[in-house]
Structure 1
Amino acid sequence: MDAFYLPDSAAPDLFHPTELTRGPWSPDAQHGGAPSALLGYVIDRCEPRPRSRVARVTVEFLGPVPIAPLRAEARVIPAEARVAQPGRNVELIEAALSSDRGPVLKATAWRLRPVEPDLDIPTEMLPTGTRPGQATVPPSPDHDFPSTQPVGFHTGVEYRFVSGAFQTPGPAVCWIRLRYPIVAGTPISPLQRTLAAADFGNGVSSVLPWGRYFFINTDLTVTLHREPVGEWICLDATTYPDRSGIGLADSHLFDQQGPIGRGTQTLLLGTR
């Protein structure tokens, strides 16, 4: 296996997941980061426009994503259908993944065209933030991804914790890098890389014991004010649980040059 998905030579919209997509909640279901990044792949290729880039993606998880072939589709919503945001500089993209049982994920993405020349914004008003260091804490068993599966999304990703750990309750700072392409034979785009990493927010900052509770995200929203550069994405993540069984994971996102945006996840909490 050298990728998370294999394209189908006979059907360009069909993708076959490998074992590297497997998640922690069921041996038969994918980790949310893998299909989210696959949606990023099809969004990247949906009627691309020079210089335009995706500024926000919201992924809705409609149910468990089986480790089975997925059909992908994406389209640009016609400008005349977007009363609130018409114009050539703004596009809304819809994308979806379906198995033989029906839709499993859907997403919307705003693609914006940056202005030329750059706006004259004073430096002190630009986004700032201390980029987390890449010096990691000494490895320990707490850093191991809590999965009983020998192969899964956790083995296709490299982690470097600056603080916290998968099995240490509370906020965490973690750098994440994909070891393999999302789709075999294609380079990993900045959008794919960020979506895959951002879905780990609830995992790295879990506040409830993995063995007793589940904390499954029903969605993932990533907003990027700057396009990421480099292979590594950093999450400075915090989980906010409530006794009602609803929670929130909030991740400040960084690359090696500084802040790039934000990721949020609505969480369903419960006992196993």
Structure 2
Amino acid sequence: MAYFERLGPDTYRPTEHVSGAWDITTQHIGPALGLLVHQIQQDLAARRDDPMVISRLGYELLGVVPMDVVDTTVEVIRPGRTIELVEATYGHGERTGIRVRAWLQQPRETGRIAGVGLEGIPRPEEMPEWDPTTLWDGGYLASAQVRRTEIATGHSEYWVRTDVPLLGDEPVSDLARAAALFDIANGMAVRADPTRVHFPNIDLTAHLVREPRGPWVGFETRVTFGPGGLGLTSSVIHDLDGPVGTVAQSLTVRPG
């Protein structure tokens, strides 16, 4: 069973694997982030026959989405020959739950000057297996295979993969598959017991220097709580070849 069943060109039904960690009657937004990447890439392929790659994904989480049929839209906000800004939405009925703006760029050869300013992490086989359902509810976290090392409170290194496809027999890109795992970061390096403190994220921004490859997505994640109810989850993301970019999530911190 996949995360989503396609019902039409822009309409999908979530499966049990999409149920959320804070409330299993609503969707975990993780799979939706990957689905929106897939929609953007499908729209791009229908409009252009020259290559474009996503360099930034800026998601705004506008409200919870029930475990029910959802609709998506894609719109080009800023067309261009070498750079585009595209917006996509994800919602239920009249309500938009997620909005993302993606910058797309025309790729060019920069291998001779390429360099990485981000630190690597140990490979998956060098970390112990960890079961996220010991801490979190919901089908999404249960679908994840995690290898994790806790460095300190609110600081972890880990790898995540899943055998659950995003869309059944429909192929998706490595980036769409990886983006469906980006939001897991806020639950892998917890600073406080989630039964006593709620700290959901209200956004997610990913900056990429290349597209992730392969089934594993690696993270080095640090969580910070400020004194006034604000928080931040910051991650460097990896594939097996090394760092590929960063993910940041703004938190609303709410002690019980």
Question: How does the TM-score come out when normalised to structure 1?
Answer: 0.86
- Measured on the aligned residues, the alpha-carbon RMSD in Å equals 2.0
Contact 1:193 1:233 in 2 (8 A): no
Aligned AA (1:244): G
Greater shift, 53-62 or 197-206, is seen at 197-206
Secondary structure at 2:222 match in 1: strand
Residue 155 (structure 1) aligned with residue 145 (structure 2): no
> C-alpha deviations, 1:96-151, integer Å up to 9, x for none?
01101411111000011112x43642x6x44453343223444467x5452344xx
Uncovered stretches (5+) of structure 2, i.e. residues with no partner: none
Contact 2:10 2:73 in 1 (8 A): yes
Distance in 2 separating the partners of 1:206 and 1:58: 23
Question: Identity of counterpart residues, as a percentage?
Answer: 28
Uncovered stretches (5+) of structure 1, i.e. residues with no partner: 80-86
Shift of 1:78: 4.4
5 Å matches for 1:91-240?
A: 91-115=84-108, 117-118=109-110, 120-121=112-113, 125-127=115-117, 129-139=119-129, 143-149=132-138, 152-161=139-148, 163-164=149-150, 169-240=153-224
Residue 14 (structure 1) aligned with residue 11 (structure 2): yes
Aligned AA (1:164): E
| Structure (1/2) with the larger helix percentage | 2
> C-alpha deviations, 1:17-48, integer Å up to 9, x for none?
01100111112111121111111111111122
Look up the match of 1:83: none
Aligned AA (2:136): S
Contact 1:172 1:204 in 2 (8 A): yes
5 Å matches for 1:15-30?
A: 15-30=12-27
Shift of 1:185: 1.8
Look up the match of 1:62: 62
Secondary structure at 1:37 match in 2: helix
Distance in 2 separating the partners of 1:262 and 1:67: 29
Shift of 1:77: 2.1
Residues 88 and 129 (structure 1), Cα distance of their counterparts in 2 relative to 1, 3 Å cut: same
The size of the alignment, in residue pairs, is 253
Contact 1:14 1:70 in 2 (8 A): yes
> C-alpha deviations, 1:61-118, integer Å up to 9, x for none?
1011211110011122243xxxxxxx41101110001101411111000011112x43
Give structure 1 regions of 4+ aligned residues with deviation exceeding 6 angstroms.
none
Contact 2:157 2:220 in 1 (8 A): yes
Contact 1:24 1:146 in 2 (8 A): no
Secondary structure at 1:198 match in 2: helix
Residues 74 and 63 (structure 1), Cα distance of their counterparts in 2 relative to 1, 3 Å cut: same
Aligned AA (1:146): L
Distance in 2 separating the partners of 1:201 and 1:78: 30
Contact 1:47 1:76 in 2 (8 A): no
Contact 1:97 1:103 in 2 (8 A): yes
Secondary structure at 1:209 match in 2: coil
> C-alpha deviations, 1:169-192, integer Å up to 9, x for none?
421111111221112222242222
Distance in 2 separating the partners of 1:220 and 1:200: 11
Distance in 2 separating the partners of 1:189 and 1:135: 24
Distance in 1 separating the partners of 2:143 and 2:42: 23
Secondary structure at 2:199 match in 1: strand
Secondary structure at 2:40 match in 1: helix
> C-alpha deviations, 1:168-224, integer Å up to 9, x for none?
842111111122111222224222222222211211111011110111000011111
Look up the match of 1:34: 31
Residues 57 and 41 (structure 1), Cα distance of their counterparts in 2 relative to 1, 3 Å cut: same
